[in-house]
Chain A
Amino acid sequence: MTPTTASIAGAPAAGRARLRGERRWTFVIPLLAVLGVTSVYPTVYSIYMSFFDWDWGHRFNFIGIDNYTTLLTSERFWNAMINTAVFTVGAVGVELLLGLGVALVVNRLGFGAGIVRTLLLVPLMVSGIVTAIIWKIMMDPTLGIIDYVLRTLGLPTPAFLGDPSTALASMVLIDTWWQTAFVFIVLSAGLRALPVEPFEAAEVDGAGAFARFRYVTLPLLRPIILTVLMFRTIDCMKVFAIIFGTTGGGPLTSTESIQILAYRAAFKTQQMSMSMTMMVVFSALIFVIVALYMRVGEREAVQ
């Protein structure tokens, strides 16, 4: 990017305007510089290194697209992709339904709505690792409070994080506790910002509560729901801390997400170039999904 030429291109060639144009860019140059170092450099470096075989030692050979073919035919990689996809669809789905439901309910409260909204935000202030610790303590199969309550009530007591068949679902539950408040607070603010007139019109037309929700609230809320979905989807795809802090990817590889696998590849087994290849592929997938969400959003904005 060449800021100065960009800003004067097409502008009248007057010296003063040109000087001003240059000074204007000084406002954004620090931003471009810092993001250049922290975001562009690593991305370019990762793409470059993905064509080499490098083990963080002396081995450093150009191997073309071998990393990509190895990665895309690796069972471990696809296992992590599927885990990540299942986790993302599960967590985003549950969080959207719960968040929307609670937002609708809390917005009906007269007295105390403000304090309820504030208190519901508390889990968002908790870090991923502390969230993991809380649930590791509560879900422990022998010492945990959840096991005790279920046992007392005579209900089945699953091993939660200790069983490959329930571990990923437990991870969805943990993320639901942690992040539903984000969906809730954004949709709650969106609901309160909706215009009153369409609801009054619907009521005059005799629309019941459900019809009003289905044909007035939902369509008006759609742009905000889309934005929330985009942020939650990407955030869930990047899931790391709550898995790292609870199972580390196990039992076996039942909760191994893409970022957990990339961490292991880079820092546990020294497959540096392979982990960077994985991040290049995964980032490309993320940007495709972001582009799709934005495409849908723009198309609806036009209509």
Chain B
Amino acid sequence: MSGMTGRATGGGMRRRRQGVSIAAYAIAVVALFASLFPLYWLFYISTKPPREAFETPPQLIYVPDFSKYVSIWNTTDFGQAFFNSIVVVASGVLLALLVATPAAYAMTMFRLRRVRWIKLWLLVAYMSPEFLFAIPMYVLYQQLGLFDTAIGLAIVYQVFALPFAVWLMQSFFAEVPRELADASRIDGASHWGTLRRVYLPLAAPGLAATAILIGIAMWNEVTIALSLTFDQGRTVQIAVAGFRGYAAIRWQEMAAAAVTAVVPMIVFAGIAQRYIVKGLTFGAVK
């Protein structure tokens, strides 16, 4: 930021800078409108009285009708799918953290041989197209009885969750002063002890942010969930898509279900706000 704004001197320059600044705010407002209006519109459609949802011109002042937000829980299996998603996210995040944390510690602390290959493998796994593993896992899960289960989904989600979690945890661990680890080692603590008593407490906010970001990715996942669930194990995203139905699309219920699926994620993102940039840049930028 500091570099982009020149140090202007003289009245003419200042006036021009003011003009630039007004234009910048105007552009920011347009960008905000473009980003947020579609979500407002989803909410608008979901809360209009049925007959008025698609009337033109749209009546933007209205008494919101939240009945769809109740009926989606009563009349469909949306509740089951919502619960499934909670199970998938909870177990998937737990598994990812249990596996990724020691690995990230090892990659920060030890000079492991072939660590380059592990890093490359993480990148390859993360970049793989979903159906490369979704189709074989579909075949395998049919035999193992894991098809259409939340746990089966949580396991497959590790393909994208683990690389992400390792990258992110590594960047948080790298910020822990090395002297603390050395002191702990000299005191006779094992590496597991050092991880638990020095690194985890210091990187706790990072651990929480990692959990939230992986959780959001799992909650929002569509492609794998579509392939590996059918009925009992359906996730919230698949249930939302299910409102398209065979005969007619139930627009308003679908919009209400979609809003219900989005709002918790925006809340969680708000909680992890400080770390989201770090998460989205895979820890590369602070």
Chain B contact residues, majority secondary structure: helix
| Chain B residues within 8 Å of A31, by CB | 99-100, 102-103, 118, 162, 166
Q: Are B36 and A45 in contact (CB under 8 A)?
A: no
Within 8 A of A (CB), among B210-225: 216, 219-223
Q: How far is the CA of A142 from the CA of B20 in the complex (A)?
A: 40
B94 at the interface (CB under 8 A from A): no
A177 at the interface (CB under 8 A from B): yes
B67 at the interface (CB under 8 A from A): no
**Candidate in B58, B100, B127, B135 with the most chain A CB atoms within 10 angstroms:** B135
Known: A30-B102, A125-B216, A209-B6. A105 touches B27 (CB 8 A): yes
Residue of A23, A43, A196 near B132 (CB, 8 A) is A43
Q: Are A104 and B28 in contact (CB under 8 A)?
A: no
CB < 8 Å A-B pair total: 289
Q: Are A42 and B136 in contact (CB under 8 A)?
A: yes
Categorize the interface residue count of chain B: 35 or more
Residue of A39, A108, A137, A194 near B45 (CB, 8 A) is A137
Q: Are A39 and B27 in contact (CB under 8 A)?
A: no
Looking at the assembled complex, report how far the CB atom of B103 sits from the nearest CB atom of chain A, in whole angstroms: 4
Categorize the interface residue count of chain A: 35 or more
Q: How far is the CA of A130 from the CA of B32 in the complex (A)?
A: 19
B62 at the interface (CB under 8 A from A): no
Looking at the assembled complex, report how far the CB atom of A210 sits from the nearest CB atom of chain B, in whole angstroms: 12
Q: 1/0 per residue B257-275: CB within 8 Å of A?
A: 0100110011001000100
Q: 1/0 per residue A96-133: CB within 8 Å of B?
A: 00000110111111101100101111111111111001
Binds A, one of B75-83, B153-161, B175-183: B153-161
Known: A108-B4, A125-B269, A280-B132. A28 touches B39 (CB 8 A): no
Known A-B contacts: A101-B27, A217-B3. Give 18 more (CB < 8 A).
Answer: A30-B99, A31-B103, A31-B162, A34-B95, A34-B158, A35-B125, A46-B132, A102-B27, A119-B35, A129-B237, A133-B241, A133-B258, A193-B286, A209-B6, A224-B284, A275-B135, A276-B135, A279-B129
5 shortest A-B CB distances, which residue pairs?
A199-B3, A27-B106, A127-B220, A42-B133, A42-B136
